[in-house]
Amino acid sequence: MRKKIVAGNWKMNKTLVESQALITEIRGIVRDENTNKAEVIVCPTFLALPSASKLLDGSTVKLGAQNCHFEESGAYTGELSASMLKSVGVSHVIIGHSERRQYFHETNEMLAKKTTAAVNQALTVLFCVGETLQERESGSHFDIIKSQISEGLFHLSAKDMSLIVVAYEPVWAIGTGLTASSEQAEEVHAFIRTLLAEKFGEAISEEVSILYGGSVKPDNAAELFSQKNIDGGLIGGAALKARDFFDIIKAIK
């Protein structure tokens, strides 16, 4: 059975002290109330990772980063490598978030290299794909998703795929309050699983968790998570409030 996952992407939010407070709160709620149906991951800013790692010691909550560079080290001012993340206790990394693609011009080619770098450090990758509103309206969303998946992941081995989680995040639904309907999301999730099956075989495609992201809230999570190919969520805004985040975790059945 593939894993159910709820991951919080904090983006560029929270100072160090605020991050420590939120991590502590989430850790406490998960310890006291968790139903253990979902793996819980929090992805604070780089700055907060070392202390988050200490605060999560002994907890089931996993720690993720929001990005990494594709080289191990070198003259890349302002960047961090996968091995550096690993060295502070990070186990997961988000790669290819639409904000990285859009504002920092990360290409599929670059993201393929980042994915390799992360997998080489045995980090689990939360690999994001998703179409813009214009792409959906013009009917090209399946082509866009196909090229994001094939160019970003198809260089990996079947064995590497055990470290890949896919997140489908329609750009038009991120931070906008517009959620894809559960039918729209399920249609794309099923399509992604078919692409993975064609490349890596049915058995492997059935093991890859595919998360939905884009304005997931406590009141729409259960409906989305009830779909056959939706294995959890990547949560932005609602992950910044411990209670909302936990109510979303509880929506995993």
Q: What binding mask, one character per residue, do residues 157-196 give for ligand PGA by CB under 6 A, x or -?
A: ------------x----xx---------------------
- Could you give the C-alpha distances from 154 to 56, 88, 157, in angstroms and in order? 33, 29, 8
For 110, the token pair is 């670059």
Tell me, yes or no, if 155 is annotated catalytic: no
For 193, which DSSP code? H
Which residue has its beta carbon closest to ligand PGA? 236
- The nearer residue to ligand PGA, 200 or 245, going by C-beta atoms, is 245
Which CB, 119 or 170, lies closer to ligand PGA?
A: 170
Of the residues 97, 106, 141, 189, only one is catalytic, namely 97
Both tokens of 99, joined, read 């904000």
- Binding residues for ligand PGA, rule CB under 6 A, total 13
155-160, long-range: CB within 8 Å, 24+ apart, which pairs? Answer: 155/112, 155/116, 156/115, 156/116, 156/119, 158/200, 158/201, 158/204, 160/119
| 19, 209, 215, 229: which one binds ligand PGA (CB under 6 A) | 215
Catalytic-role residue among 99, 106, 169, 186: 169
Rounded least distance, CB 46 to ligand PGA, Å: 17
Asked if residue 236 binds ligand PGA (CB under 6 A), the reply is yes
* The only residue of 234, 248, 249, 252 in contact with ligand PGA, by rule CB under 6 A: 234
Strand partners, 63: 42
What is the Rg, in whole angstroms, of the alpha carbon atoms belonging to the chain? Answer: 17
Candidates 3, 16, 69; CA nearest to 233 is 3
Residue 201 beta carbon to ligand PGA: minimum distance, rounded to whole angstroms: 29
Which residues are tagged catalytic?
97, 169
The contact set with ligand PGA (CB under 6 A) reads 9, 169, 174-175, 213-216, 234-238
